[in-house]
Amino acid sequence: MKLTLDRNTFDLEKATIAQALEERARLSPDKVFMTHLPDGRRYTYQDIDRQTAALGAGLLDLGVRAGAHVAVLMENCPEQLISIWGISRGGMVAVPLNSASKGRLLSYFLGNSDSEAIVIEAHLLPRFLEVADELPAIRHVIVASNCRPGATAAGHDAVAGQDPRCHEFRAVLQRGASQRAALPAPRFDELAMLMFTSGTTGPSKAIMFSHAQFIYWGTDVAIHHEYTEDDVAYVYLPLFHGNALLGATMGSFMANASIALAHRFSARGFWEDVKRSGATVFNSVGAVTNFLWSLPRSEADRDHRVRRCHMAPVPKFAAEFEARYGVSILSAFGLTDYCLGTAYNTQSRRDKLGSTGLPRQNVEIRVVDEYDRDMPPGQPGEIVLRNQCPWAASLGYYKAPEATLESRRNLWFHTGDRGVFDADGYLWYTDRLKDSIRRRGENISAFEVEEVIRTHPAVADVAVYPVRSEHSEDEVGATLRLKEGQDWSPEEIIEHCNRNLAYFMVPRYLDVIDEMPMTLSQKIEKYRLKARMEQDLSKVWDRDESGLCLDR
């Protein structure tokens, strides 16, 4: 498949995951595509082609129907990527879920996505079993054991062989290994994946990806982020997020390059992993960038093969970071909800370092006011996008036609982000309009945290918002209005959150107020609560100061 987004030469009919995998296996069968750093397992392009086909065929043979939605609850490991691609390859729809999901949040994700099966890492199986009775539609549970060193299989032995829904991952692969010919041939316009947003002004929504968008996204990254077949991308961000899956992994795949897959980010082990993997490129999010910058300087800071680092956002010390580590910083603006919008790469003007770059090929971008009128250069407004290529943008939000229509009002996708064009056409990101919180690379829905806290019997109302932290990103703050006469403690609220939310969503700061400040339309004025808390954090309850540890 040609690495181009020119609609006149891009072969849309071949833009499916199956055909892309088959082509890569034919062109570079013995080239290593993925190295799993925790245990050294290596997968060639041919290995990936065979195993994804085997998984897809094995799921069909189990009775999972073509078109069914299949969730994937795993941490970074080869089986996770094989599952996501294999499900889509089998004519089903992959639904990668945040591996920290549990309780009410996990139940919501599985129910809202209409998942009929789940591929799950063995040590996460107890989380599913806790909510399984609420999810009768899930008829098949494929359990993957020994995906990485040190992972336990808690709860797996008690279920294996007793619950007819449960099947071993490797057994499913073996089951489908000889049935590749039975695989369907999905079309480019068919649904391949649902990926949940963080949620902004409501519950997380599932973004619908066609096969073609999967391929377009990877091709776009390969071109604009300058991937070549000699690149090795260090992938440590979670594969259930767009940054790692759509960006680093799909970009490497479409460039015939390689990835080195780590379990998760480790400030102490980051550069060691980068060096031993021979990585030439990696992506970085805000908190990671700050951790790397704060490491003690060393004569070995340039002792690596990395030449490009994609950052979002670009920090104020970007030029110093480039000089210290010997890398070129790249950046971009885009949303998993729709498409990639701009790109800043090594061909961009160096005096524009810090911007998100220029509009990508075949993508229109405007900065508008609240009535969708264009703002002049130098004046900030909401960033809106429009992709000119059919099937290159998302299909909208699953089971949310109103939200889909609202996001695309006046025929433009409204990002909910503010930015400004300079006189030379470079886009600079300024801030978020959306009610979301970004913490350590995770986007958190304030709405979802509020919904869980409201279920505590002592809470009458709650507002959740970002609070400034020492790492330049957000911490989660919550202001509570309590019911009269109810006993409560901060520890009880946190434990309630920890049972029902991913650990990174659990508030750090808690404040209590008698009455919420309200607008005339009866909306809580969160900016007032945020200002009240940030005025003196020593006066509010701090989970870190209390020493309370979260269960991950």
Longest Cα separation, the chain? 70
Q: Cis ω on the peptide bond leading into residue 149 (within 30° of 0)?
A: no
**Burial class of 477 by CB neighbour count within 10 A (0 to 12, 13 to 18, 19+):** buried
pLDDT score, position 32: 98
Please enumerate in sequence order all residues whose Cβ is within 8 A of that of 421, keeping only pairs 6 or more positions apart, or say none.
367, 375, 377, 378, 427, 428
The H-assigned helical ranges of 338-440 are: 401-407
* Higher per-residue confidence, 168 vs 522: 168
Does 157 have pLDDT greater than 90? no
* Domains defined for the chain, CATH in brackets: 18-29+40-186 (3.40.50.980), 210-294+301-432 (3.40.50.12780), 439-546 (3.30.300.30)
CA 506, CA 493: separation in Å to the nearest integer? 9
CA distances from 279 to 217, 225, 247, 483 (A): 21, 15, 15, 55
Residues paired with residue 234 on neighbouring β-strands, in sequence order:
260, 282
Mean pLDDT throughout 423-448?
A: 82
Statement: residue 78 has pLDDT above 70: yes
Tokens representing 399 are 């089971």
What single letter denotes the amino acid at residue 21?
Answer: L
Residues 103-144 have pLDDT tens digits of 999 999 999 999 999 999 999 999 999 999 999 999 999 999
| CA pair distance 526, 247, nearest whole angstrom | 34
Cα-based angle 322, 325, 329 (whole degrees, multiple of 5): 35
Report the percent of the chain where pLDDT is more than 70.
Answer: 93
How many Cα atoms are found within 13 Å in the side-chain-facing hemisphere of 445? 20
Q: In 3D, which of 164, 152, 154 has the Cα closest to residue 128?
A: 154
* In contact, 356 and 344? CB cutoff 8 Å: yes
Question: Which pair of structure tokens corresponds to residue 317?
Answer: 């010390």
Give the tens place of pLDDT for each residue, 169-182. Answer: 999 999 999 888 78
Residue 474 phi/psi, 5° resolution?
Answer: -95, 150
pTM: 0.86
Residue 519 has pLDDT above 90, yes or no: no
pLDDT, mean of residues 481-500: 92
* Between 440 and 513, residue with greater pLDDT: 513
> Averaged over 262-291, what is the pLDDT?
92
CB 511 within 8 A of CB 477: yes
Handedness of CA 413, 418, 422, 424 (dihedral sign): negative
Pairing assessment for the beta strands 166-168 and 115-121 based on DSSP bridges: unpaired
Q: Please check the confidence at residue 5 and state whether its pLDDT lies above 60.
A: no
pLDDT tens by residue, 319-351: 999 999 999 999 999 999 999 999 999 999 999
State residue 339's pLDDT score.
Answer: 97
Q: What is the pLDDT of residues 11-25, one digit of tens each?
A: 888 899 999 999 999
Say if residues 210 and 395 touch (Cβ distance below 8 Å).
yes
Q: What is the pLDDT of residue 200?
A: 45
The answer to whether the beta carbons of residues 156 and 168 sit under 8 Å apart is no
**Angstrom distance (rounded) from CA 210 to CA 391:** 7
Output phi, psi for 462, to 5 deg: -155, 150
d(CA 80, CA 244): 12
How far apart CA 265 and CA 344 sit, in angstroms, is 24
- Identify which has the larger pLDDT, 420 or 149: 420
Between 363 and 527, the more confident residue is 363
Q: For the chain, how far is it from start to end, CA to CA, in angstroms? A: 41
